[in-house]
Copies of this chain bind each other. A is one copy, B any other.
């Protein structure tokens, strides 16, 4: 179980807190050449300030006063919740462009930590509110992003409640591969323990299932935390149409 366990961050949490909203709003860097000059630039671009975080750093902790939202500019962040005895459930992994901490309450509802070295942009609640007031379309963008995140959360409920270990791992790998443009190569920056706590399994079960997939020639482990999907179709069948 979670190596983190130990003393659970069990602050008072009767009040609903901030929650994550993944906002797909790629930074200017990735603009397609064919795209005409955009009429509405990123309204958050000039707000707040950026921070560089080492691997393992905590961005905020469940129960903390929630004064700001964050946007990931590079790297991977994990969000998790904990039970009093230290059992951990990872709520999601955030990549470049994703936002976290968006909500209308006064405490964070989960902990955010850097899986890899990351840069995040901190935007205070006040600033965010100001943008929503100034730009009528912005709230709808946030709504759209939050809605997408909710969809993902519902898929995850199906996974956690009804899928077997193999199905969970297959789904996880396919989702990661769908996220990256690079065909069959998947980047796995997180530990087996992180994967386990995301899929509702133990490290041992994840490890055994990975070994099973290797033996069945479904995947191949590469160097540097990368992995190749050898049989996308078989994995898709396993994952249950997702």
Task: Contact check, A19 vs B140: say whether CB atoms are below 8 A apart.
Answer: no
Taking CB as reference atom, which chain B residue is nearest A91?
Answer: B154
Task: Contact check, B84 vs A19: say whether CB atoms are below 8 A apart.
Answer: no
Task: Contact check, A144 vs B104: say whether CB atoms are below 8 A apart.
Answer: yes
Inside 8 A of A148's CB, which chain B residues have their CB? 16
Q: How far is the CA of A19 from the CA of B155 in the complex (A)?
A: 11
Q: Is A88 an interface residue (CB 8 A)?
A: yes
| A window 53-90: CB within 8 A of B | 81, 83-85, 87-89
Task: Contact check, A162 vs B88: say whether CB atoms are below 8 A apart.
Answer: yes
Q: Is A10 an interface residue (CB 8 A)?
A: yes
Residue of B17, B89, B136, B157 near A89 (CB, 8 A) is B157
Q: How far is the CA of A154 from the CA of B18 in the complex (A)?
A: 11
Inside 8 A of A83's CB, which chain B residues have their CB? 158, 162-163, 240-241
- Additional pairs, 16, CB under 8 Å, beyond known A81-B158, A157-B160: A16-B151, A19-B154, A20-B150, A84-B240, A84-B241, A88-B162, A89-B157, A89-B158, A102-B147, A109-B151, A132-B140, A139-B139, A143-B143, A153-B153, A153-B157, A156-B157
